[in-house]
Structure 1
């Protein structure tokens, strides 16, 4: 592990992922964690973790970004003492909160309330999103992400954002830390990592919450769709057969 991204979700994580790949790093993002490391992180939320476990699951990656890795930036920094830490930030907590809200509203279109009933893959993904999230936002607080149904309190979100940034700045050695605006360009990142500046523009991805739509193009979520459609078909066929049976009994 050479780069640990400690920036929270909606702080340019997808853009940083793309930028690091452009610079030649193998990056572990939160979808990669779900596909390959979901059991590890679910265990962590119940039983805890140790340094050897983090070493084993990240030893083949050059960089990690987004949740749930940013919750464990300190543990990763200790396990990989040569790794550098990048803290991506927004202009202020209000901008971050609005961006998070847009993302969650966009994700609401994924019909996440009935998908868990019809897809085992989606149930695992929902648990993966919620359980490690308790570590960052506090137990039983992830329901506040449901912006589409309730008037969510603003302050708890902003406080988590402020505390996280303050904690990283206060505890990370200054010679290992880069604080970078998520709308930055190549120069500070490349200078910090000792890389030449690419000729192509710095990436800007998921700025309008389009990740919610991008998810369905990933193999794991196509599998969830197939499961949902299969189970709906079975359910409707069962209802039809039951209806025919009841009609014949009359």
Structure 2
């Protein structure tokens, strides 16, 4: 695999989502990604059913943020949201080696210079998205209980509740190296906003019963939200593999044993 430098990673964006295949990526040497304050317990956490998605946001005395790696500034954590489909075989927006995963988590970060996610989404370098895929296991993942157990309370659209506070690093396992990235987009109204996508190779464990709870939520027509996935883009952009360190047997690693209750 060819090795390139940082400047070649931050080029023009392409449509998202895409199919990720490690064998077709270009290796890039970057500084390690730096994580700040993700282990801090927030002052509060709130979960919302937007009528299309589940969003988790919070308030911190010191807000988590990312720096270094492919990022040319600090990027402040804004929110987590989830994507799922009608079955565990069709549950992720991005594909991995041609296959869909049971669910997909996006952790939205905005460039700190722009002060808010809303302002950052109007800029070409405003948003960085961390992506974690889910893998099925036979027992529930206890780290997800605060979120999953609250879903029955936000079944109606546009409803919110507070959930028990915990560091978001309990869910978002930090990775400094050995990750994938590309410049893509997210839809905002009629437009596509540029996004730097960063993908963890280590998935999050989840049970069938936990995935099913997300499909009980209602949209604004009071129908169950069975699918909030975008269609796959027709053309794959250049995708990069940053600082390889793990196994190259498959694009996704197994679930870490210390994340299984």
Q: TM-score, normalised by structure 1?
A: 0.30
Structure ID, larger Rg: 1
Structure 1 or 2: larger helix share?
A: 1
